[in-house]
Structures are given as structure tokens and as C-alpha cells.
Amino acid sequence: MRIALLGLGHVGLAFAQLARREAGAEALASILVRRPDAERPPWALPLLTLDPEGVFESEPHVVVDALPGTEPSRRITGWALERGIPVVSANKSFVADLLARSPGIPDRLWFEASVCGGLPLIETIRRGLAGDRVLRVRGILNGTTNFILGAMEQGMDYPGALREAQELGYAETDPSADVSGLDAARKLSILVALAFAVHMDPAAVERHGIDGLDPARLPGAGRIKLVAEARLHPGGRVLASVRPQRLEPADFLVRAEGAENAVEIETACRGVLRFSGPGAGGLPTAASLWADVAQAVGDRVARVRRLAPAAREDAASRVFGGDVPRRG
Ligand SMILES: NC(=O)c1ccc[n+]([C@@H]2O[C@H](COP(=O)([O-])OP(=O)(O)OC[C@H]3O[C@@H](n4cnc5c(N)ncnc54)[C@H](OP(=O)(O)O)[C@@H]3O)[C@@H](O)[C@H]2O)c1
């Protein structure tokens, strides 16, 4: 298998290490980065390229997107899909923007890692709940703000809690998308597209962040959390919001501590399904990327592996269109 990886930051590096462990060092065929002189592990150096089109020179079977922002992910994904190459993305800005602009979801685009890093929500809604009907999705979709609110409950002021989140690597240098609720709105809009087939611009989500929250509101019964919620209303209208809410102590979402996420999905046939766990972090996000890669190309690789060695080369050239996989 040959993987073209976009980005070698927190997520990209964790994914590269996982891919090397799971599929062998030769599975990574090229890695797109921006800074030519940044420090990298020695094994990555021969694979690096600064040219977005250069990633296709290695004729990858799959492109894995661990870049920030909508560009160049949008452009590279377009090129890959035109060539019939699947794309697996952790990039919620790009995925939310793409889904908001298009009426459908490209078949070859996989994006489990883009919402709540380690929680398997996308495949659960996309395939696991096929035939059921989602009525409501609610959750703590942003670990950074959850961490900050928790620290403020312990008596820290907002700037101190934000600084600690940055020092621990939870918050970006520019934390505005997290604290304004935009990051949660992007993730919610991706869930809404899958759950309700409504393609919503994240800007259309009613949004109140924690940046304007009065710390005097925090003490009291229950706990204040930044809750993202989307509900199907009669007539098919979907109402979506992100805002701080005071939750009862018994509320499932209260379980999300520190940078964790928690999500409830209410469906017509199954009632309420509940998920909680790591919503971010290199390794959990990389594990979700790998699960998508395995689905996007794994069947083809497994089909070839099951054959006797003599039959492999012929089958591989049929399955991979002439490219024999390097591991078998
Ligand atoms: N961090 C998490 O826990 C987490 C969880 C879920 C999803 N995500 C998503 O995963 C993506 C990556 O996040 P991250 O935390 O790994 O970011 P990061 O540490 O900032 O790494 C970003 C990587 O992208 C490269 N890059 C940025 N702009 C580029 C450009 N224009 N051309 C080529 N390369 C470029 C950077 O190259 P250089 O190394 O040369 O600077 C770097 O390797 C984001 O979309 C994020 O929202 C992150």
C-alpha cells in the first residue's frame, strides 16, 4: 500500500508512526509539509515534498489529510478524487466547508477523524444507523473549552485557564475558533450533514462561545459546559446551536472531564446512544485516520494478501491497476 500524507504536525506525525507500525515503513510514499527546514525524524526526510502536486508522483492508493484550514486540502482532495484516489481527512475546517457547499458527500472521502478525534461517530451515523432515523445529536465537541471551563470551576480565571490549556497543548496559539464556539459549530455541521442530510454552513449555527462567559455564573447546582446540539423539528427543519448550558449532575455530558468529548445520539429505533472519550490528541486521531484508511483501501490489500504467492502478482496488478503492493 502507498500512502501520501499531507502534514507532519501533531496528527500527521502520530499517523505516520502508526502507519509504519501497522503496514511497514514502506507504506508511506510521500509527505507534504510547508517548512523546508523544520526538524523531522530521519525516516521522514526522503519522503518530504513542499509541492502539493508532488504527492501524486508516488502514485498513492490513498491520500491522508492532516493539514489545517480549507486550502490546500480542498485543491489536493479535488485532484485526488478526479484520479479516483480516496482521501481520508482529519481536517474539520475543510470537511465542514466542503459539506456546506455541496449537496452530497463524495463516495471516496472519509473523515472519521475530523469530528471528536478518537470517537467513532461518523461511521456510526453514516453506516451503523442506516435505516434508523436520527432525532437529535448533542455533545461536548470541543475539548479545549471543556478543559478551560473545568479549570475555571477549580478557581482559575479565564486568561489563566486559557494559558494552561495552551501550555498543555490543548489550545492553539490562536484559540479563537475554540473559545468562540466555531470549532464546535464546524463539527456539529458535519454531524448534521450525516444525521439529517442537511448541509449547513457552520456560520448558520446559532453560536455563543465561552469567551464572553461571566465566571460568576459557574458556581451553582450542576455544571456549565459548552453544549453543541442539533434537533430535527417537524417538517424536517433542523435547529442547531452551540452555547454554554448548565447541566444537571446526572446528565451524561457532565462526564466529559478535561479535554474529553461526550456525545449523545437519539434515534427513532434505538433510543439514546452514548459515546465518550478522547476528542483530540495525536494518537486517538491517528487511530481514527487509520480505521478509515483500512476501509478505503484495506479490502483491496486484504484480497491480494489472501492469495497464494504465485497468484498475487497477477491479482495485484488487476486490483491495483498495475501497481503491485510492496508488502504482502
Ligand atoms: N490536534 C488534534 O488533536 C486534532 C484532532 C482532530 C483533528 N485535528 C485536525 O487535524 C489537522 C492537523 O492538526 P495538527 O494539530 O496536527 O496541526 P499542526 O500540528 O499545526 O500540523 C499541521 C501540519 O500541516 C502542515 N501544513 C500547514 N499548512 C500547510 C501548507 N499550506 N502546505 C503544506 N503543509 C502545510 C504543517 O507543515 P510544517 O510541519 O512544515 O509546519 C504541519 O506539518 C487540522 O485540520 C486539525 O483541525 C487535530
Residue 69 in domain: yes
Residue 221 in domain: yes
Q: How confident is the model at residue 324 (pLDDT cuts 50, 70, 90)?
A: very low
Read off the CATH number of the domain in which 286 is found.
Answer: 3.40.50.720
> Who's near 234: CB < 8 A, 6+ residues apart?
none
Is any ligand 1 atom within 6 A of the Cβ of residue 92?
yes
**Residue 315: what pLDDT?**
47
Is any ligand 1 atom within 6 A of the Cβ of residue 67?
yes
Q: What is the pLDDT of residues 274-294, one digit of tens each?
A: 999 998 889 999 999 999 999
Query: What is the tally of structural domains in the chain?
Result: 2
Q: How confident is the model at residue 139 (pLDDT cuts 50, 70, 90)?
A: very high
Q: Are 98 and 242 in the same domain?
A: no
Q: Are 165 and 207 in the same domain?
A: yes
For the CA of 281, the closest atom of ligand 1 is: 3
Q: Are 75 and 187 in the same domain?
A: no
First CA to last CA distance, the chain = 9
Q: What are residue 273's DSSP bridge partners? A: 265
Q: Are 184 and 294 in the same domain?
A: no
Cβ(228)–Cβ(133) below 8 Å: no
Say which residue, 75 or 236, is predicted with more confidence.
75
Alpha carbon 103 to chain centroid distance?
20
Is any ligand 1 atom within 6 A of the Cβ of residue 139?
no
In terms of DSSP bridges, do strands 206-207 and 238-247 run parallel, antiparallel, or are they unpaired? parallel
CA distances from 139 to 12, 58, 121, 191, 235 (A): 26, 40, 11, 11, 24
Closest C-alpha residue for ligand 1 atom 30: 34
Q: What is the pLDDT of residues 84-125, one digit of tens each?
A: 999 999 999 999 999 999 989 998 999 999 999 999 999 999
Residue 326 in domain: no
Residue 324 in domain: no
Predicted TM-score (pTM) of the model is 0.90
Alpha carbon 82 to chain centroid distance?
23
Catalytic residue among 2, 186, 187, 225: 187
Is any ligand 1 atom within 6 A of the Cβ of residue 87?
no
Q: Are 95 and 60 in the same domain?
A: yes
Q: Are 213 and 304 in the same domain?
A: no
Q: Are 214 and 76 in the same domain?
A: no
Question: What is the share, in percent, of the chain residues with pLDDT greater than 70?
Answer: 91
Give the structural domain span for 14: 3-118+282-319
Q: What is the pLDDT of residues 151-199, one digit of tens each?
A: 999 989 999 999 999 888 787 778 999 999 999 999 999 999 999 999 9
Residue 223 in domain: yes
Residue 238 in domain: yes
Cβ(50)–Cβ(75) below 8 Å: no
Q: Are 109 and 140 in the same domain?
A: no
Q: Are 151 and 274 in the same domain?
A: yes
Looking up cell 504536525 gives 9
Beta-carbon count within 10 A of 270 CB = 13
Buried b (16+ CB within 10 A) or exposed e, 99-119: bbeeeebeebbbbbbbbbbbb
Is any ligand 1 atom within 6 A of the Cβ of residue 200?
no
> Who's near 287: CB < 8 A, 6+ residues apart?
18, 118
Closest C-alpha residue for ligand 1 atom 19: 9
> Who's near 189: CB < 8 A, 6+ residues apart?
96, 99, 100, 200, 201, 202, 204, 205, 240
Active-site annotation holds for 187: yes
Q: Are 12 and 130 in the same domain?
A: no
Q: Are 92 and 22 in the same domain?
A: yes
Ligand 1 mean position to 6 CA, how many Å?
8
Residue 188 in domain: yes
Cβ(83)–Cβ(25) below 8 Å: no
> Who's near 209: CB < 8 A, 6+ residues apart?
145, 179, 180, 181, 182, 226, 242
Residue 295 in domain: yes
Read off the CATH number of the domain in which 223 is found.
Answer: 3.30.360.10
Q: Are 29 and 8 in the same domain?
A: yes
